[in-house]
Amino acid sequence: MDWNSIISNSLRSGISQQAIIFALAAIGLNLHFGYTGLLNFGQVAFMAAGAYGVGITTNTLGAPLWVGIIVGMLAGVVLGLLLGLPTLRLKADYLAIVTIAVGEIIRLVVRAAVLSDTTGGSNGINGFANSFQDWNPFNNSATYGFRLFDRINLEFSGADVWELLVGWTLVLLSVFVVWRLIRSPWGRVLRSIREDEDAATALGKDVFRFKMQSLILGGSFGTLAGIFYAVQQNSVQPDNYATQQTFFALTAAILGGLATIWGPVVGAMLFWIILSFTENVLIELIDNNIMPDSIMERSQVGPVRFMLVGLTLMLLMIFRPQGIFGDKREIAIDERK
């Protein structure tokens, strides 16, 4: 068993581009569900809106990358409006189902062959964000970082350092925005809506407008996640925007603790550390013939780690819905009906 590589792979995953994407998506879900009590199960729709916004604008329409990024963000806002108008007055169950459905509609449409001139169909859109690496101030052929205790490899290529730097800066900015807003009067209204919508209405608050603002803002963090994903991969693939991404991000948010500022970020990091650790340990067990093939083959490692995600989500909700940092009284899950 190569523990050095297991540990360094796990740690690297915890700060990887994937962790950034999940952290951003989870920050948005936390604003929705944690602070406002909105059950958005279609965060992946916002991610897809951002990713395809950039991809289509730059690749298909030939605009520069920065224009694409702006268009991507706007696409997320428009999606939020379209999603919120019909659903925000409905019961929570319906919002959940409609948001999932919209996510799936977007995925099915962008991967359709009839639209492949615009969206690339099932091939997606590739190679539109080269200028992102052009802006990279680091040397791509050099490595940065260090080896912890001479064993744990924490060295990264210049391209990685650039992506991680941009990504984590976005995460920190997002956390800052949420932190300021939640302490503001606006944030207090959101929380009062979560606690008791009717009481908030009775106090003269236009609940629909606040919910809409929360949906759009939280969705924008998802949009940002999608844009970062697309630009960093230099590619948009329709099947990366499947329904379960939202649930993975939700698991990360709950793991860290809903209705807390740092919960979603820590949750996303831990989510990937656990996933990567499990994967690496299992692969080592199989490769060293400790785990016999009759029980598990290498191709079955993927399913096992996602089983673990499902189990984590279940056990968290049953035994510790407030996650690591949360406060049980702040979790809006037991008030319904």
- Residue 127 interacts with another protein (CB under 8 A): yes or no: no
Whether 44 and 245 have beta carbons less than 8 Å apart is answered as: yes
**Chosen residue from 202, 290, 329, 337 binding another protein by CB under 8 A:** 337
Residue in 16, 14, 32, 55 with CA at minimum distance from that of residue 194: 32
- The site map against another protein for 78-117 (x = CB under 8 A) is --------xx--xxxxx-xxx-xxx-xx--xx-xxxx-x-
**Chosen residue from 61, 127, 303, 328 binding another protein by CB under 8 A:** 303
Segments in the chain forming alpha helices (H): 3-14, 17-29, 43-55, 65-87, 92-110, 116-119, 130-134, 158-183, 185-195, 197-202, 207-233, 244-256, 263-287, 301-319
- The site map against another protein for 215-244 (x = CB under 8 A) is ------------------------xx-xxx
**Chosen residue from 134, 202, 318, 329 binding another protein by CB under 8 A:** 318
Residue 3: other Cβ atoms inside 10 A = 12
Residues in Cβ contact with 277 at an 8 Å cutoff, skipping those fewer than 6 apart: 6, 9, 10
- Nearest approach in angstroms of CB 83 to another protein is 9
- Total interface residues for another protein by CB under 8 A: 69
**Chosen residue from 245, 260, 278, 322 binding another protein by CB under 8 A:** 245
Q: What does the alpha-carbon distance between residue 139 and residue 159 come to, in Å, rounded to a whole number?
A: 8
Question: Which of 158, 321 has the CB closer to another protein?
Answer: 321
Residue in 174, 210, 271 with CA at minimum distance from that of residue 35: 210
**Chosen residue from 10, 18, 119, 223 binding another protein by CB under 8 A:** 18
- Residue 336 interacts with another protein (CB under 8 A): yes or no: yes
- Residue 329 interacts with another protein (CB under 8 A): yes or no: no
**Chosen residue from 62, 66, 122, 203 binding another protein by CB under 8 A:** 122
Exposed (0-12), middle (13-18) or buried (19+): which is 281, by Cβ within 10 Å?
middle
Reduce the DSSP state of residue 112 to 3 states and report it: coil
Q: What does the alpha-carbon distance between residue 285 and residue 243 come to, in Å, rounded to a whole number?
A: 31
- Residue 154 interacts with another protein (CB under 8 A): yes or no: no
- Single out the segment in contact with another protein by CB under 8 A; choices: 16-24, 169-177, 182-190, 203-211: 16-24
- Residue 24 interacts with another protein (CB under 8 A): yes or no: no
Radius of gyration of the chain (CA): 21
- Residue 153 interacts with another protein (CB under 8 A): yes or no: no
**Chosen residue from 274, 275, 286, 291 binding another protein by CB under 8 A:** 275
**Chosen residue from 121, 136, 283, 320 binding another protein by CB under 8 A:** 121
Residue 88: other Cβ atoms inside 10 A = 17
Residue 288: other Cβ atoms inside 10 A = 10
One-character DSSP codes across 41-59: --HHHHHHHHHHHHHIIII
**Chosen residue from 8, 10, 13, 223 binding another protein by CB under 8 A:** 13
| Positions in the binding site for another protein (CB under 8 A) | 13, 16-18, 39, 86-87, 90-94, 96-98, 100-102, 104-105, 108-109, 111-114, 116, 121-123, 239-240, 242-245, 247-248, 250-251, 254, 275-276, 279, 297, 299-300, 302-304, 306-307, 309-318, 321, 332-337
